[in-house]
Each structure stands twice: as structure tokens, then as C-alpha cells.
Structure 1
Amino acid sequence: MATLGQLERSVMDALWDAPGTLEANELRDLLAAADGQRELAVTTVLTVLGRLEKKGMISRDRSARPHRWRAAGSRAEHVAELMHDALGDVGDREAVLARFIGRVTPEDAAALRRLLGERAAS
């Protein structure tokens, strides 16, 4: 799973939060509003969209002009894949899991117990 740069992450956040597809100009406006900074050039947004498409993170609807973009998967799927990839790169997975569990909140620990229980039951 590819890691994302800051602008790529901002674009993905906007696409994940959108109820449907977005045009590059709409994304540019959302990014400017979210950051409270100067607007990006639409060519910059299109470059980032092209990179994200090559990474398989987004898809483009080419049937209309201007093209419309959407996330290929959910935010949760992306984060889970990052966690899985990180865990796969270490030699002592149990030590990493123990360290991770030692830092979770009581609420997250309860959610993990419940989810593991559901998995064991199925």
C-alpha cells in the first residue's frame, strides 16, 4: 500500500468525506476552504489526482466532462491496509502487537475484544 504525501492525504480526505464524486475544481475549492490558505492551481490538483489514480487509490469517471473522481476504497480500508503492511515488515509481530495494545485506550481495547470475539465466533 502506497504511503501518501500531505497534499495527497488532503485530497483523499476530501474524496472520502464527499457524498459522491468530485470534479478537480470542486476539490481545489474544498482544499482551499479546509486549509484556509491560498488556492492551489487546478493543474496541481490534477497532477495529484493522476498520482492517486496510478496508486489505485481513486477512480475517474471519464464519461462526462469535466471528469469526476471518487475514492476507490474507504478510509478504514486504507488505514487497515497500512497497519497490515507495517505489521508485515517486522520480524517479531507479537512484540509489535503487544506494544500497540499497550497504547490503546480502554474504549479501543473493548472494541478490539469485541471484534476478535466476533471473528472467533464466525
Structure 2
Amino acid sequence: MTDHNNEHTTRRRGQGELETQVLAALRQAPEPVTAAWVQERLGAGLAYTTVMTILTRLQVKGAVVRERAGRSFKWTAVADEAGLAALRMRKVLDSGADREAVLASFVTALSPGDERLLRDLLAKPSTEEEE
């Protein structure tokens, strides 16, 4: 007999979900940490190689940096969850053949509230600092 409850708790996580979880773990770290530290925090039978793959992908996206620590590396988050989402959006925009069409399609799909928020953000001077 199949244990449906166990199947549900060991479901496969998607790449985006793993990236978010790895980034969250790094943001909680008191200092640069190893992949093994991240693996331990995430638990749930996550393989070390999977953690390394996600860390490397996050580095390529500019969301984390690494520094040499002996024969391995220590990792630090440089983006938060919103920054990671923005990096993903930028990647999609950069991969489109027609930037104007991609942006127009994105804007027309926004809810009225999100469209107002976007207009407000675009109206702010880019050098303005939040108080």
C-alpha cells in the first residue's frame, strides 16, 4: 500500500523554489558559509551536489558571491528574494527577440493596482533614496 502522506512530504521541489530557499538560508547566515552549511539548514534529504548546483546558478545570476576558503568556497547572498525575482524577470526580458513586445505584453497583463505601482515607481527619480 502506498503512503500518500509520505509522498506528499517528499515531493520534488522546483528550481525556483530551491533557489529561493537557498537564498533565504544564506541571508540568515551570520557570515559567509559553506555549501554543507546550507545543505544542513535545508535538510529534507537534499543532496550536496544539488545545493552546489543551485549556488552556482545563483552566482551566475548575480544573487550570491563566493570566496575561496581553503580547498572549497564560502557563499554570501547579495540579493534578497525580490532581487532574485527581478533577476529572473530581466533574464526573460533579455532572451526575448522583441523587447518592446515583451514589455508591452507584461504591462497589459498587470492588475490595475500593479500597473499604478509600476507607474509610480517609474515616475520616481532613479537616484532617490528611501528615508
State TM-score, norm by structure 1: 0.58
- The answer for unaligned runs of 5 or more in structure 2 is 1-13
- Is residue 18 of structure 2 the alignment partner of residue 12 of structure 1? no
Higher relative contact order (CA 8 A, sep 6+): 1
One-letter amino acid of the structure 1 residue matched with residue 65 of structure 2: S
2:51 and 2:107 mapped to 1: Cα distance?
40
1:18 and 1:103 mapped to 2: Cα distance?
34
- Count residues with an aligned counterpart: 112
What are the superposed Cα offsets for residues 27-72 of structure 1, whole Å, 9 maximum, x if unpaired? 223212xxxxx3335x4366336634762542335569x9642113
- The answer for unaligned runs of 5 or more in structure 1 is 33-37
Offset at residue 90 of structure 1 (A): 2.5
1:60 and 1:92 mapped to 2: Cα distance?
34
Offset at residue 98 of structure 1 (A): 2.3
Taking structure 1 as reference, are residues 96 and 52 closer, same or farther at Cα in structure 2, changes over 3 Å only? closer
The equivalent position to 1:44 in structure 2, one of 39, 49, 65, is: 49
The equivalent position to 2:114 in structure 1, one of 108, 112, 119, is: 108
CA RMSD of aligned residues (A): 3.8
Partner of 2:124: 118
Partner of 1:31: 42
Offset at residue 99 of structure 1 (A): 1.8
Which structure carries more helix by proportion?
1
Q: Which stretch of structure 1 is more off in the superposition, 17-26 or 110-119?
A: 17-26
Query: Identity, % of aligned pairs?
Result: 28
One-letter amino acid of the structure 2 residue matched with residue 80 of structure 1: A
2:54 and 2:87 mapped to 1: Cα distance?
20
One-letter amino acid of the structure 1 residue matched with residue 28 of structure 2: A
1:70 partner SS: strand
